[in-house]
Each structure stands twice: as structure tokens, then as C-alpha cells.
Amino acid sequence: MSSVERFEEILKILSVRKKITVQELTERLKVSEVTIRKDLTFLEEKGKIVRVHGGAVLAEDRDLLRNISIRLDEHTAEKSAIAKAAGNLIHEGDIIFLDSGSTCYYLAQQLKDLDIRVLTNSLDIILALSDSSSVALLSTGGSFRTDARSFIGPAAIETISNFQIETCFLGTTGFSKDGVFTAQNILEAQVKKAVIRASQRKIMLADHYKYGTKAFSIFARAEDIDVLITDSEFTDKKTLFGLGMEVLFPSI
């Protein structure tokens, strides 16, 4: 069995079992414990699993997993309206963080002419702003997660902890009527939590299609967020107004 075949088999097992030990994997895959540990390290660096004592757990909800290239082409009118409203909250000289979500990418497109500093863990945003003569662009670094084209892991979190961010703009896989924001990948959620800790003002960007979706890992609750920007098609407005966040509903 090749290493690629082992990676797929490990992920298949975890999609059913949720957690498995190194010993179980060595017995099932007929390879050494050293080989399994190397495989788990590789999968963790790719954002697929999380190492735990003696084994591993799945890092993401594979049912919700969709490549960023697909998400960039979905609900474009809603994301454009949200990005425009978010852009109005950014001023010359600001230090901001842009998350790796597709709506944050739409926001980045509007910032090329502003004299600001942007920290991001998104490769797409780095490329979008790389030719700007006015944006001071900083990357978190870290392990590269292919599906989201984002940087995650301890190195990214360490970089974030060394900054004092004025405003962060975050994306979410889903949010509930109780104001719970979730990500489908645990390691992405850890980065988001680090950003929230490092930021003075926290702004969530989420189109109405995200409402009611429950993803794998909770990274924030309403009390952690200052402003939620959704779109004018959102229907359950009274519920959101009772959660303590400022909520904006820009027209599509």
C-alpha cells in the first residue's frame, strides 16, 4: 500500500470511527508504528486530522468540505453586498486581519488602493493584494491547507499572537439562532479563535445561506463578535437583534 493509499484509508476509517489509536492503525494497515506516526503528522499538517494522545481524530466534517474555488462562485451577489458594507468600516491607516473565507476575498478586492496593513492566512488574498502599492501585506505563515488555500497550525497562531489587530474580518461555515459560529475544520477554528483574541473589533461576514448550518467546530459566540454583516435576504432579523451584536443587512 502506497502512502497516498494509506492517507485515504486513514481518513475513511476516521470518517466512520471519529477517533482511532496508532496501535489500531498499525494492525489494520500492516505497517510500523513509525510509519503511522509519520502519516498522522503529514495529515495533521494538511489540516485533515488532529493528533491526540495515542492516536488521532478527524479535523473536519467531510460532508461540508468544498474547495474554495467552488465557494468563490457561489452566492456572489450576497457576498459582494456584504463585502461592500464591510469595506465602509475600514479606514486609512487601519491594521486589519482578513480570514480565508470567500467573502473576505471579495472584501480584499476593494482594498487595493487603501493605505492599510493587512494580515491574512489566505493565499488567495495574498495574491489579490500582492500588486498593491499602498497595502502593507503580512502573512501568518503556517501549514498550508489545500482545500481552503489557507495557512493553519501552531506557526500561524504564533504569528497572530504577536500582532495587535484593530479590526478582524472573519468568515464562518454556519451560524445559529443562538449566535454560535462554527467552522468545518478544527484547525481553521483554532486560527479564528487566535484572531479574535488578538483583535480589538471583531466583524463576522456571513451570507444568509449560512444561517442554520451546523459545522464541526465552534470558534465564536455572539458575545465574542461586535458586528455581524449578513445580507438583506436574511429573514429572521428579530432573533439576531436579541443577541447583543450590531447587525447590518446590506441590500443585494
Domain that holds residue 24: 3-58
14-18, 137-141, 186-190: segment of lowest average pLDDT: 14-18
CATH number at residue 45: 1.10.10.10
Mean pLDDT, residues 107-129 taken together: 97
Query: Does residue 29 belong to any structural domain of this protein?
Result: yes
- The percentage of the chain sitting over the pLDDT mark of 70, rounded to a whole number, equals 97
Q: Which residues contact 128 (CB under 8 A, 6 or more apart)?
A: 105, 108, 109, 112
Are residue 51 and residue 150 in the same domain, yes or no? no
Q: 83 and 28, same structural domain?
A: no
The rounded distance, in Å, linking the Cα atoms of 49 and 65 is 14
Report residue 122's pLDDT band, with 50, 70 and 90 as the boundaries. Answer: very high
Within this chain, do residues 157 and 118 fall inside the same structural domain, yes or no? Answer: yes
pLDDT at 163 over 90: yes
**Residue 142 confidence (pLDDT):** 96
* Whole-number pLDDT of residue 182: 96
**Which amino acid appears at position 117 of this protein?**
R
122 in the same domain as 235: yes
The answer to whether residues 50 and 141 belong to one domain is: no
73 with 141, same domain: the answer is: yes
Average pLDDT of the residues in 122-140: 97
The domain total for the chain is 2
Q: Tell me the per-residue pLDDT of 45-63, one tens digit each, with 9 for 90 and over.
A: 888 888 888 899 888 776 6
Residue among 171, 167, 195 nearest 185 (CA): 171
pLDDT value at residue 147: 86
Which pLDDT does position 150 carry in this prediction? Answer: 95
pLDDT of amino acid 60: 76
Does residue 211 sit within a domain? yes
What amino acid occupies position 203? I
Rounded Cα distance between 148 and 136, Å, is 23
Q: Are residues 19 and 42 in the same domain?
A: yes
Do residue 142 and residue 204 come from a single domain? yes
Give the mean model confidence (pLDDT) for residues 208-217: 90
Write down the pTM of the prediction: 0.84
Flag whether pLDDT at 118 surpasses 70.
Answer: yes
9 and 98 housed in the same domain:
no
Is the same domain home to 41 and 103?
A: no
Q: Is residue 63 part of a domain?
A: no
The pLDDT tens digits of the residues spanning 63-92 come to 666 667 677 768 899 999 999 999 999 999
Cα–Cα distance, 158 to 232 (Å, whole number): 37
Q: Which pLDDT belongs to residue 16?
A: 84
- Considering the domain architecture, whether residues 23 and 143 belong to the same structural domain is answered as no
Q: Is residue 232 part of a domain?
A: yes
State the pLDDT at residue 63.
Answer: 64
CATH of the domain at 96: 3.40.50.1360
Judge contact between 48 and 216, C-beta under 8 A.
no
Q: What is the mean pLDDT of the chain?
A: 92
Residue 79 shares a structural domain with residue 44? no
